[in-house]
């Protein structure tokens, strides 16, 4: 039986761009998640998400694993970027788009 931490590690390892959030990108369940999703969507790349409201175990364990107490949490290439304020600051400076584009899986045509 795999632990919740194993599940979290697997999610982070298997998704180049991953947002742990309350709700879904179409229906965010809090203002912070909504702002984070909007900033990510403006980068124009696909990203994975985990709705922590549907998984209480991940909601409980991820803050300990990440050493980050709040949601949303953005992970890019296995590294915690941060929460809503950091995501929005990076979006304002253009850094978020650079990070997301660099992490996004490239199409075979681009290779």
pLDDT in tens, 11-31: 999 999 999 999 999 999 999
Q: Is 64 annotated as a binding residue?
A: no
Q: Is 71 annotated as a binding residue?
A: yes
Largest Cα separation within the chain, whole Å, is 43
The domains found in the chain, sorted by start residue, are 4-110 (3.40.30.10)
User: Cβ distance 12 to 18 under 8 Å?
Assistant: yes
User: How many CB atoms lie under 10 A from the CB of residue 61?
Assistant: 16
Q: Is 30 annotated as a binding residue?
A: yes
How is residue 92 written in tokens? 């304002």
Q: Is 107 annotated as a binding residue?
A: no
> What's the predicted TM-score (pTM) here?
0.92
pLDDT-derived band at 45, boundaries 50, 70, 90: very high
Q: Is 88 annotated as a binding residue?
A: no
Q: Which of 66, 54, 71 is nearest to 8 (CA)?
A: 66
DSSP 54: G
End-to-end CA distance of the chain: 39
Q: Is 85 annotated as a binding residue?
A: yes
């Amino acid at each position: 039986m795999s632990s919740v931490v194993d599940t979290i590690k697997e999610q982070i390892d298997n998704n180049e761009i991953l947002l742990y959030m309350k709700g879904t990108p179409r229906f965010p369940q809090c203002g912070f998640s909504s702002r984070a999703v909007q900033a990510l969507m403006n980068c124009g790349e696909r990203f994975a998400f985990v709705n922590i409201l549907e998984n209480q175990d991940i909601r409980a364990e991820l803050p300990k694993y990440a050493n980050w107490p709040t949601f949303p949490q953005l992970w890019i290439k296995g590294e915690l970027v941060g929460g809503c304020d950091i995501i929005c600051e990076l979006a304002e400076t253009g850094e978020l788009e650079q990070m997301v584009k660099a992490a996004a899986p490239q199409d075979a045509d681009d290779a």
